[in-house]
Structure 1
Amino acid sequence: MNQAQTQARLVEDAFKDMLSADDFKSAFRNHPAGVSVVTADPGDGPVGLTATSVISVSANPPLLVFSLSAFSSAAPALARAETVVVHLLGVEQLEVAKVFATSGIDRFADRSSWSRLPTGEPILAHTPTWLRGRVVNRMSAGDSTVMAVQVLQAQVPGPDITSEPLVYHNRTWHSLSPQSARN
């Protein structure tokens, strides 16, 4: 057996007991996640997608991460982007989440639903919370790319503006309300 065959056998052995993709998805189906839309313009027009993988990583420096599925039509362009805008959605933006989760459509066709920041990134209208950042790292992870973003600018609503967050759980959109709080 040559070195390449030995290496291939080691990789095969390492993954033979791997959990199936369907079982992995089923496990996470019962783990709720906040809903965001990530937008960018890598130079050939605006792109965006709905993401439930956005998490904060560090406050100093302010960093967040999200993953891009290789199966998303927007993934190649977003993976090339130097900067992105992450829109944290409330229940009022359910239709926005649905549009950016739909394949095969022009997600930016409605020119009244978005504009550009002075720095060029597409920004969604009526989204009270967004974070603009510079991509500082990309990591291949299975059939996805994990993007690390240093946040440079944010729009955060004032304390008098409240919104119920949009959450995705078990293939369904939900909102969190004061009534859902448990002490």
Structure 2
Amino acid sequence: MTFASSENDITAEEFKHAFRLHPGGVAIVTADIGDGPKAMTITSMFSVSVDPPTLVFSASAMSSSTPTVLSAETVVVHMLSSDDIDLAKLCATSGSARFGDEVDWDRLPTGEPFYPRSSSWIRGRVVDRVNVHGSVLVVVEALEAKPPNEDSARNAVPLIYHNRNWFGLGGSAIL
């Protein structure tokens, strides 16, 4: 068996450009470790298991919210629709008032900050953190969820990020 060389022939710019053409669903992660709520917009979330229900997302070292998210025992992951574009942009903007007076946010009975108008959310316990070249993969076991109601799910237009732009995913399913 022959394996490829371990040397990288791809530049960081080439790698980033390749992923610009791969759309990602948009989500927001919120957490609070006692020094105030923090939030970050992510496009790197995916499900791993349904038994137990587990998801993973990547937290970049460049985000000011990452230290809180990495120290938190629990987080809330909000899956966004195109109706949530303003919230996605707010939580992606450095220095923004993500929990200001003009923002519709609250706390769950368990204490985590959350955005009640998001399409759906999952509250979970952080069960592992894996360092990967300056980012951290955060493994979360779901504890509670607010799925969209049937009408919302049927009419929701998912929010995606593609080639440095925000899009509502429309159109018909391809069979």
With normalisation by structure 1, the TM-score equals: 0.88
Structure 1: gaps (5+ residues): 1-12
Q: CA deviation at 1:180?
A: 4.2
2:137 to 123, 126, 146: 146
Quote the residue 1:33 is aligned against.
24
User: How many Å separate the matches in 2 of 1:126 and 1:31?
Assistant: 27
In terms of Rg, which structure is larger? Answer: 1
Say which is worse superposed, 17-26 or 163-172, in terms of deviation: 17-26
Rounded to whole Å, the distance in 2 between the matches of 1:30 and 1:17 is: 21
5+ long unaligned stretches in structure 2: none
Counting only pairs closer than 5 Å after superposition, residues 59-98 of structure 1 correspond to structure 2 as 59-98=50-89
- 2:150 is paired with a residue whose SS is coil
2:128 counterpart of 1:134: no
Moved over 3 A (4+): none
Rounded to whole Å, the distance in 1 between the matches of 2:125 and 2:36 is 18
Mapped to 1, the partners of 2:101 and 2:25 lie a distance apart of 25
Query: CA shift at 1:149, angstroms?
Result: 0.1
* Cα RMSD, aligned residues only: 1.5
State the shift of 1:41 in Å: 0.5
Amino acid at match of 2:67: P
TM-score (norm 2): 0.91
> How many angstroms apart in 1 are the aligned matches of 2:135 and 2:101?
29
In 2, Cα distance between the equivalents of 1:131 and 1:52? 16
How far apart are 1:111 and its partner, in Å?
5.5
Amino acid across the alignment from 1:23: E
1:91-121 CA distance string (max 9 Å, x none): 0000000000000222111365100000000
Change (3 A) 1:160 1:62: same
Distance 1:92 1:48 in 2: 18
Distance 2:40 2:117 in 1: 17
Select 1:57's aligned residue among 48, 66, 71. 48
